[in-house]
Chains A and B, each alone.
Chain A
Amino acid sequence: MHAAVITFPGTNRDGDIARALKQAGAKVTHAWHADPELPAGTDLAVLPGGFAYGDYMRTGAIAARANIMDAVRAHAAKGGYVLGVCNGFQIACEAGLLPGILMRNAGLKFVCRMQHLKVGRTDTVFSSGYTAGQVIKVCIAHGEGNYVCDDETLTRLENENRVAFRYCDAKGDISKENPNGSRNAIAGIYSENLRVLGMMPHPENLIETLVGGTDGKGLFAGLAAA
């Protein structure tokens, strides 16, 4: 697996996610927002967390129109893998790679804390390191994570089993501890072909026991092995 980690002005989790991918055994190269192409041989384009373009206008909106995003859209259209985390999820939605939008948290506060997630399907390259229904503990850090889409899109996502992760409590109850008001407690979704994943939580920050846990490792292990 060759991952290209894209840096936009204001991205700040690029180093973390590159490290998580490398630790899992993936080859990692870096790309810049103004680049017209992804590095040759890219299997996975990574949109990291941060505050691209200062979150001006709408989170992810300006980054989604950056030069390199045409290459990312072309990569996705050819069936290439794309992972968007936090601000990267917002960018992926704005770029039309995933449906819906991330709105201001319902409680208006920036939420930065540990958070349990319930894993959805496990037959994707992103989730093969987990078991179905597994409850994992990772961290969240966002002000705009409130997933919104129209009813028709929500029905499609559910019917097509495209919800990758949902917020839940330690026991896996998804009716508890929704940190931002997301519809159906959605924390992450897949594209139709299951090759694009967008998620608000940060698995890349939970890969060392030293900093609170290793539940994020499963995602990168599955990816690196693909």
Chain B
Amino acid sequence: MKARVIVTLKNGVLDPQGKAIEGALKSLSLEGVGSVRQGKVFDIEVETQDKSRAEALLKQACEKLLANTVVENYRIEVVG
């Protein structure tokens, strides 16, 4: 099945790339852009058809590699 892992910076962690993107968006005169935080998206194919197994597997993947939990949060979405 297909799954998506979203890794984002925790609140309070300085995100200079997000700030630069925010500045660029504002320079395009896009009214209403508040703030930007940059994150990562991983689209992953997992072999199992069992949703809870897929979630457990991806949780391990996040803890072991995909996210550094010192500064990042992760979210797992099993698409099906």
| Interfacial chain B residues near A141, Cβ < 8 Å | none
A/B pair count, beta carbons within 8 Å:
35
Are B14 and A148 interface neighbours, CB within 8 A? Answer: yes
Name the residue on B nearest A149 (C-beta).
B70
A191 to chain B, nearest CB (A): 16
Chain A 102-127 residues near chain B, CB threshold 8 A = 103-108
Q: Does A11 contact B (CB under 8 A)?
A: no
Number of B interface residues in the complex (CB < 8 A): 12
Main secondary structure of the interface of A (DSSP, over half): loop
Contact A65 B65 (CB under 8 A): yes
A106 touches B70 (CB 8 A): no
Which of A94, A103, A105, A150 gathers most chain B CB within 10 Å? A103
**CB within 8 Å for A146 and B14 given contacts A100-B70, A108-B20:** yes
30 of the cross-chain contacts (CB-CB < 8 Å) are: A57-B40, A57-B65, A57-B66, A58-B68, A61-B65, A61-B68, A62-B65, A99-B70, A100-B70, A101-B68, A101-B70, A101-B71, A103-B13, A103-B14, A104-B16, A104-B17, A105-B16, A106-B14, A106-B16, A107-B16, A108-B16, A108-B17, A146-B14, A148-B13, A148-B14, A148-B70, A148-B71, A149-B70, A150-B70, A181-B14
